[in-house]
C-alpha cells in the first residue's frame, strides 16, 4: 500500500521548477503519475513506484511517499483529501475509565478527538463521502457500533475541552462567573470553583485572567456540562505541578460514571490520570496509526522504549532513559553569577530570594506554583526590572548578556520563519538548534500562522540562537509533545555546555525538569501575595523540598527510571513520607 502525501502549505509551484513532475520516471515514460490540478501536483498512488525521487527533488520538502502494509487498508478511518493525512484505526473510550492518547503533534490525536465528539464524520478513505450510515455499517458487530449509533442518534452527548485556551477571550466576553453559570448544567459551579481554586477568578473579566486561570476556567466549563463522554485536549498547559495533579484527580472523578478521553503530553500527569493508553505512531503530517490499548504504566514505558512488541514496530531508534540518581555535577568551581538576598515588591506582591551562585555550563531548574515570583526573579537576572534590595554580581565584572524566552509568546511582525531565523543564523545554530528542532520545515510559514507548538519551537530557537552568557526560558515545554520536550531539553543542555553559558529553566513538567536540570531552585509562599525562594540546591534536596511543600511523593519506574507520582495515601506514599524521601528512592 503506497501513501503519497502533499503538504499543501509547503508546496509553492510559483517558486520552483516543478521538479516533482520534471524528474518523475513515470511521467517521463508517458504515465500520469503526477499531474497538476488547480496549480498543485496530484500524485497517483496506483501508478507511483515509490522511488522517492520527487521527495528528494522537491525544494520545499512538501512531498512524502511511504510504503505501508496492505492490511492497513482495512483500518483506514479518515483521510483529509487526495494526497493528504490519513488515520488508521481508533482507540475505544471505555465506560467508567480514562483513556489516554500519546503521540507526536500532527499524528492524528485531534482528528480522533473530533471523531468521538461528532465534529468529524469519518469518511473511511472514501473522499467526499462523510456518511453516518457507512460508518455504522463499517463498525457493525464491534464495540464502536453502539457508541457511534448513540452519538449520531443524539443519545450520547460529547463535551470537549479544546487544546488552545488562549483563544477563549476572543470568542467569549464577560465575567468568568456569568460565563460558567451559562454552562452549569449540573448545578456544581460552587463545588467545582472551589476544587479548581477559582473563587477569586469568578468575579474577574475573562480577558484579564492569566493562562493558568484560563485553562482552569475551560476545564470547569467542560466539567459543569452534562455529558456522556468528556474529552480533554492538553488539560495541563499553563498549570503548576499541584494544579496539574489536582485537575487529574477531578477528571478521574468524572470517569466514575462516564467515558473520559484525554490527550496529554505531560507523562507524569498522564500516568496519574489515565487507566489505559493508546500510542499513536506514524509519520507526522502523513499518516497516524493507533496501537492496541495498554495499561497506563506499560503504555508509557512502551512509548519511551519506542518498540511495539505485538505490532513488531520500532518507531524510535533509541529508548529514552532517565537518571536513576541525580547526575554528579561536572560544572563545580566555575561560578559565573552570584546573587545576595534579593528582594522585590510589585504592588501588593513581594518576593525574597536566598543568596546563592550559578556556575558556567549549568542548567538550573525552577519549580514552584504560579504567581509566586519565578518570572520576577528571571526578569531581575535579565535586567528587565531592578531589585529593591540585594546584589547581582557577574564574575566577569561586566554585566552579562541575557537571552530571554517569555512564558507567553506573541508573534511579532508579518514575516516568514526563514526571515526571523536569519537574525541568529550561524553554523552552530544550524547544527545544534535549527535542524534538531526541525524548523526548516516551517521556513515558508508566516509567524502569524504558526500553531502554539510551532511558535514555541521558534521562540526557543531564537532565544538559544542569540549570543549570550545567560539563557532564561520560561515554560519552554508548553504545547510541545513528548518527543519535542525531550529534544528541547537535550538542545538546551548541549547549548549551555558548548557555550559555557548558564541556563535557567522555569517549567511545571516534573519529567522535563528532571531530565534537564543540574540543580534546582524552589519557590514557595502565598501565590499573588508573598513569594520566597531557596538558593540553588542539589536535585535530591530541591525535589524533596518542593514535593514536601505540595505534599506529593514520587518514585522511580524500575524499567525507564522516569518519575511516577504515588497515589495519595498509598503504601508507597506513606513509606516515603515517613522517611522524608519524597523523590529519589
Cα distance between residue 147 and residue 135, in whole Å: 11
Q: Kindly tell me if the per-residue pLDDT of 374 is higher than 90.
A: no
Under 8 Å CB-to-CB from 153, ≥6 apart: which residues? none
Average pLDDT in the 532-546 region? 94
pTM score, whole prediction: 0.87
Per-residue pLDDT, averaged over 409-437, amounts to 92
Give the torsion sign (CA, 376, 382, 388, 393): positive
For 401, list phi and psi in degrees, rounded to 5.
-75, 135
Predicted confidence at residue 332, as pLDDT, reads 60
Higher pLDDT, 584 or 156: 156
**pLDDT for res 68:** 87
Residue 572's nearest CA partner among 559, 558, 585 is 585
Which pLDDT score, from 0 to 100, does residue 473 have?
94
State pLDDT tens for residues 247-256.
Answer: 999 999 999 9
Average pLDDT estimate for 475-504: 92
What domains does the chain contain, in order, with CATH numbers?
A: 2-67 (3.30.70.20), 79-314 (3.40.50.300), 335-540 (3.40.50.300), 551-585 (no CATH)
Please report which confidence band the pLDDT of residue 530 belongs to, taking 50, 70 and 90 as the band edges. Answer: very high
Q: Would you tell me how many other CB atoms lie within 10 Å of the CB of residue 486? A: 19
Does the pLDDT at position 237 exceed 70?
yes
pLDDT of residue 375: 79
Query: By mean pLDDT, which of 90-99, 308-317, 354-363 is the weakest?
Result: 308-317
CA distance 558 to 98: 24
User: Does pLDDT of 567 surpass 90?
Assistant: no
pLDDT band at residue 527 using 50, 70 and 90 as cut-offs: confident
Using 50, 70 and 90 to split pLDDT, how confident is the model at 271? very high
Maximum mean pLDDT: which of 203-212, 219-228, 423-432: 219-228
102 neighbors 280 (Cβ within 8 angstroms): yes
Residue 548 CA from chain centroid, whole number: 26
- C-alpha closest to that of 477 among 488, 461, 466: 488
pLDDT tens for 96-116 read 999 999 999 999 999 999 999
- Has residue 336 got a pLDDT over 90? no
**3-state class percentages of the chain: helix first, strand second, coil last, to nearest 5:** 35, 25, 40
* Residues 6 or more apart whose Cβ sits within 8 Å of residue 574: none
State whether residue 576 is helix, strand or coil. helix
Query: pLDDT band at residue 328, thresholds of 50, 70 and 90?
Result: very low
DSSP 433: I
Q: What is the pLDDT of residues 430-486, one digit of tens each?
A: 999 999 999 998 998 899 999 889 999 999 999 999 999 889 999 999 999 988 998
Q: What is the pLDDT of residue 210?
A: 87
pLDDT tens-digit map of 173-216: 999 999 999 999 999 999 999 999 999 999 999 999 988 999 99
pLDDT exceeds cutoff 90 at 164: no
Query: Which residue spans within 123-267 are E strands per DSSP?
Result: 158-161, 229-233, 259-263
Beta carbons of 109 and 270 less than 8 angstroms apart:
no
The pLDDT of residue 355: 95
pLDDT over 70 at 326, yes or no: no
Amino acid at each position: 500500500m503506497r501513501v503519497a502525501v502533499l503538504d499543501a502549505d509547503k508546496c509553492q509551484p510559483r517558486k520552483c521548477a516543478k521538479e516533482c513532475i520534471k524528474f518523475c520516471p513515470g511521467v517521463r515514460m508517458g504515465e500520469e503519475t503526477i499531474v497538476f490540478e488547480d496549480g498543485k501536483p496530484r500524485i497517483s498512488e496506483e501508478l507511483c513506484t515509490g522511488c522517492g525521487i520527487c521527495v528528494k527533488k522537491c525544494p520545499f520538502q512538501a512531498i512524502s511517499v511511504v510504503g505501508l502494509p496492505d492490511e492497513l487498508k482495512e483500518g483506514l478511518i479518515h483521510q483529509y483529501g487526495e494526497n493528504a493525512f490519513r488515520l488508521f484505526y481508533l482507540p475505544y473510550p471505555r465506560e467508567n475509565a480514562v483513556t489516554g492518547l500519546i503521540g507526536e503533534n500532527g499524528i492524528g490525536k485531534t482528528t480522533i478527538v473530533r471523531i468521538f465528539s461528532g465534529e468529524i464524520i469519518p469518511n473511511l478513505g472514501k473522499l467526499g463521502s462523510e456518511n453516518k450510515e457507512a460508518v455504522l455499517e463499517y463498525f457493525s458487530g464491534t464495540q464502536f457500533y453502539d457508541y457511534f449509533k448513540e452519538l449520531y442518534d443524539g443519545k450520547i452527548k460529547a463535551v470537549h475541552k479544546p487544546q488552545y485556551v488562549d483563544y477563549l477571550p476572543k470568542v467569549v466576553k464577560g465575567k468568568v462567573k456569568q460565563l460558567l453559570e451559562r454552562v452549569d448544567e449540573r448545578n456544581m459551579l460552587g463545588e467545582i470553583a472551589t476544587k479548581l481554586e477559582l473563587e477569586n477568578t469568578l468575579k474577574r473579566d475573562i480577558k484579564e485572567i492569566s493562562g493558568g486561570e484560563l485553562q482552569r476556567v475551560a476545564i470547569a466549563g467542560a466539567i459543569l456540562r452534562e455529558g456522556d463522554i468528556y474529552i480533554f485536549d492538553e488539560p495541563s498547559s499553563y498549570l503548576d505541578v499541584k494544579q496539574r495533579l489536582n485537575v487529574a484527580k477531578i477528571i478521574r472523578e468524572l470517569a466514575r460514571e462516564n467515558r473520559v478521553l484525554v490527550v496529554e503530553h505531560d507523562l507524569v500527569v498522564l500516568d496519574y490520570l489515565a487507566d489505559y493508553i493508546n500510542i499513536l505512531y506514524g509519520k507526522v503530517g502523513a499518516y497516524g496509526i493507533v496501537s492496541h490499548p495498554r495499561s497506563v504504566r506499560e503504555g508509557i514505558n512502551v512509548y519511551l522504549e519506542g518498540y511495539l512488541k505485538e505490532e513488531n514496530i520500532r518507531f524510535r531508534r533509541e529508548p529514552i532513559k532517565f537518571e536513576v540518581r541525580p547526575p554528579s555535577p561536572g560544572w563545580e568551581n566555575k561560578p559565573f553569577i552570584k546573587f545576595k538576598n534579593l528582594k522585590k515588591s510589585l504592588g501588593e506582591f513581594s518576593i525574597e530570594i536566598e543568596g546563592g551562585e550559578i556556575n558556567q555550563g549549568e542548567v538550573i531548574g525552577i519549580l514552584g506554583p504560579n504567581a509566586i515570583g519565578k518570572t520576577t526573579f528571571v526578569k531581575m537576572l535579565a535586567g528587565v526590572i531592578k531589585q529593591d534590595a540585594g546584589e547581582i554580581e557577574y564574575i566577569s565584572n561586566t554585566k552579562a548578556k541575557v537571552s530571554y524566552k517569555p512564558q507567553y509568546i506573541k508573534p511579532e511582525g508579518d514575516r516568514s520563519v526563514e526571515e526571523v531565523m536569519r537574525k541568529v543564523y550561524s553554523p552552530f545554530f544550524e547544527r545544534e538548534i535549527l535542524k534538531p528542532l526541525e524548523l526548516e520545515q516551517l521556513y515558508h510559514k508566516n509567524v502569524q500562522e504558526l500553531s502554539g507548538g510551532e511558535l514555541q519551537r521558534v521562540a526557543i530557537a531564537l532565544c538559544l540562537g542569540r549570543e549570550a552568557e545567560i539563557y532564561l526560558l520560561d515554560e519552554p515545554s508548553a504545547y510541545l509533545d513528548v518527543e519535542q520536550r525531550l529534544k528541547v531539553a537535550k538542545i538546551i543542555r548541549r547549548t549551555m555546555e558548548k557555550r559555557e553559558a548558564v541556563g535557567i529553566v522555569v517549567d511545571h513538567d516534573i519529567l522535563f525538569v528532571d531530565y534537564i536540570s543540574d540543580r534546582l531552585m524552589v519557590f514557595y509562599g502565598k501565590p499573588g501575595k508573598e513569594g520566597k525562594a531557596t538558593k540553588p540546591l542539589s536535585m535530591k534536596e530541591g525535589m524533596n523540598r518542593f514535593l514536601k511543600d505540595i505534599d506529593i511523593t514520587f518514585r522511580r519506574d524500575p524499567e525507564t527510571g522516569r518519575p511516577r507520582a504515588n497515589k495519595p495515601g498509598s503504601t508507597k506514599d506513606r513509606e516515603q513520607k515517613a522517611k522524608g524521601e519524597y523523590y529519589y528512592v
